[in-house]
């Protein structure tokens, strides 16, 4: 194993984890509609399916590379298989997230939310599979561009998903404890969906800008949560 291989592996692991955070958030939001006893195993299944999808795509690497070949042209804009999947995937993400925001903002009360009938496991798993296909394609194409050896790509995916499975429960509990983070996460997903849609149209958006915006917004929200916690402690001390 050369130094370049180690560097490529570490870079890809970091990238896969970063790209997987929005995947974890969306899976967490989907499984939140299930009964409590099903949430943990369905969330872990979702992450395992994400790993499985990415490995399958990496094994079919020649097919993935062919997806960049233009298939047709509309208004001087050529579309490849990759472009079609990213465009439709972006629209799916924006539409699904908008529906989630609408549903949460129109919930009349916590009691009404509790009485809502839990979603069927099969329906949620199908939605997770569709989501995994979208995120896996983007992740795999990025991996293909960063590394030349297949074993590096597959190893990075397995390690990254393993890390996400280990810490996904902590992330989910933190989001459930702070509902404002859930709305912020949904806003992030609309941003990711828009980015995928624009990339499908051939308009490249540097992911660094997207992740900086996400990171800054998250930092502001964490500071707000910390300030609220301090206020509650002070109120408790006064009373």
Segment 62-87, tens digit of pLDDT: 676 667 778 888 877 888 877 887 78
- pLDDT confidence of residue 65: 62
122-152 pLDDT, tens per residue?
888 888 888 777 777 666 766 766 666 778 8
8 A C-beta contact, residue 58 and residue 156: no
Within the chain, strands assigned E span: 70-74, 77-80
- Taking only Cα atoms into account, the Rg of the chain, rounded to an integer number of angstroms, comes to 20
The model's pLDDT over 158-211, given as tens digits with 9 standing for 90+, comes to: 888 888 888 777 766 776 677 777 777 778 778 878 887 888 888 877 767 776
Q: At what angle do helices 81-105 and 121-146 cross, to 10 degrees?
A: 140
What is the C-alpha end-to-end distance of the chain, expressed in Å? Answer: 63
- Which residue ranges make up each domain of the chain? 3-205
Q: Return d(Cα 187, Cα 31) in angstroms, integer.
A: 18
- The pTM for the full model equals 0.60
Identify the band that residue 25 occupies on the pLDDT scale cut at 50, 70 and 90. Answer: confident
The pair of structure tokens assigned to 175 is: 């989001």
**Which two three-digit tokens encode residue 101?**
């925001």
The full 3-state SS of 221-232, as one line of letters, equals HHHHHHHHHHHH
Closest to 164 in 3D by CA, of 61, 34, 54, 6: 54
CA distance 21 to 170: 12
In this prediction, residue 112 carries a pLDDT of 43
The mean pLDDT value of the chain amounts to: 76
- How many alpha carbons fall within 13 Å on the CB side of residue 21? 15
């Amino acid at each position: 194993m050369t130094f370049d291989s180690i560097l490529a592996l570490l870079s890809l692991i970091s990238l896969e984890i970063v790209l997987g955070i929005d995947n974890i958030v969306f899976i967490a939001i989907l499984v939140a509609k299930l009964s409590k006893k099903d949430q943990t195993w369905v969330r872990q299944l979702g992450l395992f399916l994400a790993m499985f999808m990415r490995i399958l795509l990496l094994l079919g690497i020649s097919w993935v590379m062919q997806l960049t070949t233009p298939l047709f042209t509309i208004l001087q804009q050529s579309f490849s298989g990759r472009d079609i999947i990213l465009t439709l995937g972006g629209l799916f993400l924006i539409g699904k997230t908008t529906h989630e925001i609408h549903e949460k903002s129109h919930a009349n009360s916590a009691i009404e939310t509790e009485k809502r009938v839990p979603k069927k496991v099969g329906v949620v798993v199908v939605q997770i599979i569709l989501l995994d296909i979208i995120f896996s394609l983007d992740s795999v194409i990025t991996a293909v561009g960063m590394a030349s050896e297949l074993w590096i790509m597959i190893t990075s995916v397995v390690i990254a998903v393993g890390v996400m499975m280990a810490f996904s429960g902590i992330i989910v509990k933190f989001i459930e404890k702070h509902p404002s983070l859930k709305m912020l996460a949904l806003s992030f997903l609309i941003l990711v969906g828009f980015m995928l849609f624009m990339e499908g149209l051939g308009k490249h958006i540097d992911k660094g800008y997207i992740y900086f915006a996400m990171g800054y917004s998250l930092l502001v929200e964490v500071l707000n949560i910390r300030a609220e916690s301090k206020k509650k402690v002070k109120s408790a001390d006064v009373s």
